[in-house]
Amino acid sequence: MDGNRRWAEQHKLELLKGHERVATTIIQELTEHCIKIGVPYLTLWAFSTENWHRDTQEVMGIMDLFRSGFKKNARELHEKGVRLTTIGDLSFFPGDIQKNIAEWVRATEKNTAITVTLALNYGGRDEIIRAVNKVMSQRSGSGTLATEITQAEFSHYLDTAALPDPDLIIRPGGEKRVSGYLPWQSVYSELYFTDTLMPDFGAEQLDEALADFAQRQRRFGK
């Protein structure tokens, strides 16, 4: 979800206002629209492993948005039948944020309208390294460390083990790269790039992306 800071600058607002608009308005709008048109899974990259290197005040502000946003948004999404899940290494977040996330994940686990996954402290390389370490840890204890592993088995060690691979990856904000987003899972995903900044990426922009996706002919290497 790129372009929050640039949007705030263009509107002569504090930088956090871009993040705030996405957290309080855009996520709700996109989720509701996905439910309406029958999209079963929506994954949103809310905070990357690299985002910790931003200005301290900005990071602290984003943490406060996570605190306030989860209290409001999670409740509203729960009422709409949204199942919330996360990917990424949550151990880096303050304890109260971890607890809040865990509570809402548990509270919504039986909802069926849509699965909304938040990528929090997520980085593709970090995910793969953590998965490799899980394999090594488990196999070293069972004495099968040297046994070859299949792609299907390795996928079970990834954060997305319970999720399907993405059909479409949308990158707003004008950059034409995926920046380490779901590298293992996205090998056959369709990519859509747009100059629209994330705080302006609502239901209409999602429909444009889906219309473009509908014109693609997917071959999956065949």
Q: Which residues are catalytic?
A: 2, 51
Angstrom distance (rounded) from CA 16 to CA 8: 7
Angstrom distance (rounded) from CA 197 to CA 1: 8
Query: 152 with 165: CB under 8 angstroms?
Result: no
Question: What does the DSSP assignment read for the chain?
Answer: ---HHHHHHHTT--THHHHHHIIIIIHHHHHHHHHHHT--EEEEEEEETTGGGS-HHHHHHHHHHHHHHIIIIIHHHHHTTEEEEEES-GGGS-HHHHHHHHHHHHHTTT--SEEEEEEEEE-HHHHHHHHHHHHHHHHHHHT-TTS---HHHHHTTSTTTTSPPPSEEEE-SS--S-TTSSTTTTTT-EEEE-SS-GGG--HHHHHHHHHHHHT----TT-
